[in-house]
Amino acid sequence: ETGVTQTPRHLVMGMTNKKSLKCEQHLGHNAMYWYKQSAKKPLELMFVYSLEERVENNSVPSRFSPECPNSSHLFLHLHTLQPEDSALYLCASSQATNLNTEAFFGQGTRLTVV
Amino acid sequence: GESVGLHLPTLSVQEGDNSIINCAYSNSASDYFIWYKQESGKGPQFIIDIRSNMDKRQGQRVTVLLNKTVKHLSLQIAATQPGDSAVYFCAERVAGGSYIPTFGRGTSLIVHP
Cβ contact A100–B4 (<8 Å):
no
Of A2, A44, A48, the CB nearest to B100: A48
Q: Is any Cβ of chain B less than 8 angstroms from the Cβ of A50?
A: yes
- A17 Rama sector, left if φ>0, alpha if ψ -120 to 50, beta otherwise: beta
Mutate to test the interface with B, among A27, A30, A43 (most CBs of B within 10 A): A43
User: Does residue A51 surpass a pLDDT of 70?
Assistant: yes
E strands present in chain B: 4-5, 10-14, 19-25, 30-38, 45-51, 56-58, 62-67, 72-77, 86-94, 102-103, 107-112
- Residues 1 through 40 of chain B touching chain A, CB cutoff 8 Å: 1, 4, 31-32, 34, 36
Q: Measured between CB atoms, which of B43, B46, B97 is closest to A106?
A: B43
Average of per-residue pLDDT across B61-85: 96
Q: Which of A32, A81, A41 is nearest to A61 (CA)?
A: A81
Using the Cβ of B53 and the Cβ atoms of chain A, whether some distance falls under 8 Å is answered with: no
pLDDT at residue A22, as a whole number: 98
**Touching check for A8 and chain B: CB below 8 Å?**
no
Residue B97 has pLDDT above 70, yes or no: no
- Contact across the interface for B97 and A42, Cβ inside 8 Å: no
Separation CA A59–CA B88 (nearest Å): 26
Q: Measured between CB atoms, which of A55, A90, A97 is closest to B43?
A: A90
Does residue B7 have a pLDDT over 60? Answer: no
The lowest-confidence range among B4-13, B43-52, B81-90 is B4-13
Q: How far is A30 from chain B (nearest CA, A)?
A: 13
Look at residue B102 and tell me whether its pLDDT is greater than 80.
Answer: no
Closest alpha carbon to B22 in B93, B84, B90: B90
Residues in B touching A35 (Cβ below 8 Å) = 103
B43-52: per-residue pLDDT in tens? 999 999 999 9
B13-70: pLDDT as tens digits: 999 999 999 999 888 888 889 999 999 888 999 999 999 999 999 999 999 999 999 9
Gap between the Cα atoms of A81 and A64, Å rounded: 8
Burial class (CB in 10 A: 0-12, 13-18, 19+), A76: buried
Distances in Å between the Cα of A75 and the Cα atoms of A6, A66, A71, B90 are 10, 6, 11, 26
Q: What is the pLDDT of residues A83-94, one digit of tens each?
A: 999 999 999 999
A106–B contact, CB cutoff 8 A: yes
* E strands, A38-86, in order: 44-50, 53-57, 64-70, 73-79
Which residues, 6+ apart, have CB-to-CB distance to A107 below 8 Å? Answer: A5, A6, A9, B41, B42, B43
Residue A113 contacts by C-beta under 8 Å, 6 or more apart in sequence? A12, A13, A14, A15, A81, A82, A83, A84, A85, A86
Length of chain A: 114
Partner B contacted by A12 (CB < 8 A): no
Measured CA to CA in angstroms, residue B109 lies from A24, B9, B43, B82, B113 at distances of: 30, 9, 16, 10, 13
